[in-house]
Amino acid sequence: MEKQDDFVYDAWLAGLLGRDVYRISADDKFINKAGRSSSPAGRRLKELQASKVFMYAKVPVANPGAVGFFEGHGFRLVDTNISLEKPVAKGSKVEGCASLRLVVPADRGPVAALAGRSFTYSRFHQDGSFPAGFAEKTRTEWVNGYFNGSRGDAMVVAVDGDEIIGFLLLIYGQDGRLIIDLIAVAESHRRRGVAGDMIRYAETECRGFTGIRVGTQLANLPSLRLYEGMGFKITAAQYTFHYHHG
């Protein structure tokens, strides 16, 4: 993403959507405690809102000034994102309900297809202003980014027979944390421990990390139950606001 003052151009999302896309900062430099932006930032926002654009902002839930600012400028709350962390548990027992391994290039098609049909809670799925099929496309292209070498550092897949039934995309954090970037299990194989096994496999195989971090949606209760059952603790919560024009 290209940094432009308090507005970060999201080239990846812009390419998928076919219009300019910006992520807006919600820090104290952009919005003060009274819920007002600086004059240059406010003028820039008005300029962008008059163009064909999609903008989004992630706001800490404890920042009511920023919440009021975005609501007052036509942004709509679409999601509450929950961040969770736990220490890495080395040597965790994998239940063995599926075969687990690292991904190979030949897995690209099945993994991308699984990504496109496995999500319902993302901010794109919760926002009906996007074109039909766009939310699914974002997930497919997300994992394609891994195979293209533009996103993520490792991927675990779960296999049942010849079928890929789950995947776990990982990022190696610079702070010693292993980050779960995206995880999915085929609907027909859920509630069998596949997701937990992929996480435990990653904790054992990805060495040198002290903690593991993940984000999920407040509406995604199955994921929250999974993570809390594995010992993850909530560390932060953010509101996600969207703005569409044109």
CATH number at residue 101: 3.40.630.30
Judgement on whether residues 18 and 114 belong to the same structural domain of the protein: no
Domain count, the chain: 2
What b/e sequence results for 3-15 when a residue is b if at least 16 CB atoms lie within 10 Å of its CB, and e otherwise?
eeebbeebeebbe
Residues 6 or more apart from 164 whose CB is under 8 A from it? 107, 110, 111, 114, 157, 158
Judgement on whether residues 49 and 91 belong to the same structural domain of the protein: no
The domain boundary, picked from 74, 97, 132, lies at 74
Judgement on whether residues 24 and 61 belong to the same structural domain of the protein: yes
pLDDT of residue 88: 93
Cβ contact 103:156 at 8 Å: yes
Judgement on whether residues 99 and 209 belong to the same structural domain of the protein: yes
pLDDT at 201 over 80: yes
Q: Which amino acid is at 185?
A: V
Sheet containing strand 2-4, strands side by side:
2-4, 7-9, 20-24, 53-60, 233-245, 76-87, 211-217, 177-185, 163-172, 154-160, 99-102
Identify the band that residue 3 occupies on the pLDDT scale cut at 50, 70 and 90: very low
Identify the band that residue 98 occupies on the pLDDT scale cut at 50, 70 and 90: confident
Determine the length of the chain. Answer: 246
Judgement on whether residues 157 and 96 belong to the same structural domain of the protein: yes
pTM strictly above 0.75: yes
Question: Domain residues for 55?
Answer: 2-74
244 in any annotated domain: no
